Chains A and B, each alone.
Chain A
Amino acid sequence: MFRFLLTRISLVIPTFIGMTLVAFFLIRLVPGDPIEALAGERGIDATRHAALLVEYGLDKPLLTQYGLYIGRVLSGDLGRSIVTHETVINEFLALFPATIELALCAALFALLIGIPAGVIAAVNRNSIFDHGVMGISLTGYSMPIFWWGLLLILFFSVQLGWTPVSGRIAVIHFIEPTTGFLLVDTLLESDKAAFWSAAAHLILPTIVLGTNPLATIARMTRSAMLEVLGEDYIRTARAKGLSPTRVVALHAFRNALIPVVTVVGLQIGVLFTGAILTETIFSWPGVGKWLIEAIHRRDYPVLQGGMLLLGVIVMTVNLLVDLTYGIINPRIRHT
């Protein structure tokens, strides 16, 4: 196990270097620079432009800039935003809980509906339920997030008035962030009304962000279950007279979990990508919206730092997913 961990962590290093390279050079391939982005229609004269490039260290050769950047990253300094002048890590830490709260709710939504739907569809193969689940999941998979989000807002918020339109909590609630997770912070302040408001604000973004992973998980669970249900040991279990529920829940489902867990791990990346659009539609103050804004304004430090931090998180989650294989199926040994 320890050796497995070491091997996996050693693989993380080249991935990390690759990420820094992509984060650093990709944004610089886009024409323009942060100084011009700030200047607007009035433009900026060449002398001031050059002076400001020097001030921000953007006048140096690219490789030198990259070397300096890596040096700072290794010492834990991700730099400051060129637009807000706040440290990247502070901005990330202030916004990340909102993204995590939304991603966790979306993941729960996708898992709690996707897995049972996939299992039931597999057990009742070719039934109306099966076709229904597969049809709906295909629709969910193809649904553009922006369109889906606006549609839900117009229907549930504007027409029916059931849910709030956007934001994390009604403006009447004044909650100072303690953990940054509003569901937790409102409970810590024992403010029930604020808690329910935060929960209600989560409904639509959770559905929008969770739809795509839900569809993927449902389809993957169904196909994994179908494969397992055809195995000899399932037939044996049935021949031994075990109840159908016991066969499905204990024998089939556990064995079908490994591909499902892999997909769930990969969905973390999908959730972060989806969060970028979902956060923009629902005015959700998370890192997705923050990164989009940074692209528009060529805010190099924010983009580099944000991509790096998100990349590290996705890598860590995938590492944890790999480790769970051994727990799900003891025959898999991490040696």
Chain B
Amino acid sequence: MTAITSKTKIALLCTLAIPAAFSVSNAAAKTLVFCSEGSPENFYPGINTTGTSFDVNSQIYSRIVEFERGGTKVGPGLAERWTISKDGKEYTFFLRKGVKWHSNKNFKPTRDFNADDIMFAFDRQWKESNPYFKVTSPNHSYFNDMGMPDLLKSVEKVDDYTVKITLKSQAAPFLANLAMEYAGVQSKEYADAMLKAGTPEKLDQEPVGTGAFMLVQYQKDAIIRFKAFPEYYAGKAKIDDLIFAITPDASVRWAKLQKGECHVMPYPTPADLDTMRKTPGIKVMEQPGLNIGFLAYNVTKKPFDDVRVRRAVSMAINKKSIIDAVYLSTGIAAKNPIPPTQWSYNNATKDDVYDPEGAKKLLAAAGFANGFKTDMWAMPVQRPYNPNARRIAELMQADLAKVGVTVEIKSFEWGEYRKRMQNGEHQTGMMGWTGDNGDPDNFLTTQLGCDAAKPGGGNVTKWCYKPFEDLIKKAVAITDQAERTKLYEKAQTIFKDQAPWFSIAHAVQLTPMRTEVIDFKQSPFGRHTFYGVDIKE
């Protein structure tokens, strides 16, 4: 980075004679600049819904348990250990002692983190009687979406460093749910002080956490500055300063990365990837993302209520040509409803073979020898799991025309699109999912479960199949991962046999960065966290 700085300065002196340093300097302190894509919604992860906000808040706050860096395994966080009762309903967390809080101009903590803060984290999202329930927003989106209000029976403080959580029923993903960003722990002492001062909203605007970095400055749509928290319980971060330079346009982020104005950028444009890989000083980290893009057949509508029709359509679509033409080098073919990085992925599954002749025969057997007409919904926006739904729909339309199926492509404004698909108004339509917590249940229940198949639910295929439902219900009620894996593998076999989706692809996660960046780990959830990352001197 030093070389880039010098080069930039020379260019400036020779041309504009402006004594400005545009590039990142790390002469005194190690500074890492991340060209982030947008501003956070606020600094309270409990009401955040975007990855952009979670990227910011995951630097500041810690959770009771944490995902391992670059993985989905749940490990100790603010709790150094925990026990689970035999019936799987009681979780006792033993909290870490000596965990320090950040401070800011409004607040200097007088005590370390303790059980009161955990109680506050739950109460704020759960109980309407909590004075902070409605502060900033009452929409505790993830807490509700992960089913916490229905699952929690009680949260009790046993002593200052022990908390017992009792569930109404067994739920294997519970620990993973607590490692998600929405469960970031805020300071109860700070909350009380702000309430007393009549400025409760400051809790969510000028954050105080126990995380690896503390917030120093935020200018909306411009910059977010963090400083490494020297008293972080796991040890100070390797970098001293972390800067998010907010840069919404992907081409501009790439220009900044080339010029050394930032070290790491998210979400590159697929068209730039070849150049990025060939550019000296730049490396592109990639791994299959925890996501899936698919074409859902609405099984409540004819002719997709017939499994033979669903299988025939899946056989008639050339998946490889779609991935080559639309995903370029950023997608891998999907054969299961969960991605290969997800534990319990069934590698033995045989994917649909592209066989138009076989598809014709199957359609004839189902009584559609002359084909049929159907709609195909294509989302109007680019999504992490689908770079261009309209183009994919056109390719599918051409493939299906060869077997006599006439496709009419439809699209709506994105919000309306989701709402109508979730209400089951389509015959076929594209949708997708990005995993939240690294648990297979987060894919299978939310996308293929019977509860989600009701109008308005996330299961847009509206497929509710008892043998599949029984397996995923059984799997969520036990904690033994090997046992659960077996059940989920069987569920994937049933899914493939019943073909409620044509699984398209898993988008590859791409993180371009400068070669000076050391030990950056890609998060399967698409997060960008910088604890443990270093920069070459």
| Distance in Å: Cβ of B22 to nearest Cβ of chain A | 4
Nearest-CB residue, chain A, relative to B10: A161
Chain A residues with CB below 8 A from B138, complex form: 52, 55
Is the Cβ of B16 less than 8 Å from the Cβ of A281?
Answer: no
| Distance in Å: Cβ of B215 to nearest Cβ of chain A | 13
Q: Spell out B's residues near A (CB within 8 Å).
A: 7-8, 11-12, 15-16, 18-25, 31, 33, 38-39, 41-42, 49, 134, 136-139, 141, 144-145, 201, 204-205, 217, 219-223, 225, 243, 245-249, 251-252, 255-256, 258-259, 261, 383, 412-416, 418-419, 422, 431-434, 446, 456-458
- Which of A95, A199, A286 is B18 in contact with, Cβ under 8 Å? A199
Is the Cβ of A161 less than 8 Å from the Cβ of B11?
Answer: yes
CA distance A282 to B141 in the complex (A): 32
CA distance A98 to B434 in the complex (A): 36
Q: Spell out A's residues near B (CB within 8 Å).
A: 30-33, 35-46, 48, 52, 55, 83-86, 91, 94-95, 98, 150, 153-154, 157-158, 160-168, 170-172, 174, 176-177, 192-193, 196-197, 199-200, 280-283, 285-286, 289-290, 293, 298
Chain A residues with CB below 8 A from B431, complex form: 41
- Which of A35, A83, A162 is B11 in contact with, Cβ under 8 Å? A162
Chain A residues with CB below 8 A from B204, complex form: 85
Is the Cβ of B243 less than 8 Å from the Cβ of A171?
Answer: yes
Is the Cβ of B221 less than 8 Å from the Cβ of A95?
Answer: yes
| Distance in Å: Cβ of B453 to nearest Cβ of chain A | 12
Chain A residues with CB below 8 A from B31, complex form: 171-172
Chain B residues with CB below 8 A from A38, complex form: 49, 139, 141
- Which of A31, A95, A177 is B412 in contact with, Cβ under 8 Å? A31
Nearest-CB residue, chain A, relative to B204: A85
Candidate in B42, B243, B255 with the most chain A CB atoms within 10 angstroms: B255
* Number of A-B residue pairs having CB atoms within 8 Å of each other in the complex: 176
Is the Cβ of B38 less than 8 Å from the Cβ of A293?
Answer: yes
CA distance A163 to B17 in the complex (A): 11
Is the Cβ of B255 less than 8 Å from the Cβ of A192?
Answer: no
Nearest-CB residue, chain B, relative to A41: B433
Chain A residues with CB below 8 A from B252, complex form: 150, 153, 165-166, 281-283
- Which of A33, A45, A85, A280 is B136 in contact with, Cβ under 8 Å? A85
Query: What are the nearest 6 A-B pairs in CB distance?
Result: A32-B415, A285-B221, A197-B20, A285-B222, A31-B416, A161-B11
Chain B residues with CB below 8 A from A85, complex form: 41-42, 136-137, 201, 204
Is the Cβ of A283 less than 8 Å from the Cβ of B419?
Answer: no
Instruction: With A43-B457, A174-B217, A200-B20 as known contacts, state yes or no: A33 contacts B249, CB within 8 Å.
Output: no
Nearest-CB residue, chain B, relative to A198: B20
CA distance A6 to B110 in the complex (A): 60
Chain B residues with CB below 8 A from A46, complex form: 456
Instruction: With A48-B144, A154-B255 as known contacts, state yes or no: A197 contacts B219, CB within 8 Å.
Output: no
Is the Cβ of A36 less than 8 Å from the Cβ of B419?
Answer: yes
Candidate in B41, B221, B248 with the most chain A CB atoms within 10 angstroms: B221
Chain B residues with CB below 8 A from A161, complex form: 7-8, 11-12, 259
CA distance A226 to B32 in the complex (A): 57
Is the Cβ of B415 less than 8 Å from the Cβ of A43?
Answer: no
Is the Cβ of A43 less than 8 Å from the Cβ of B418?
Answer: yes
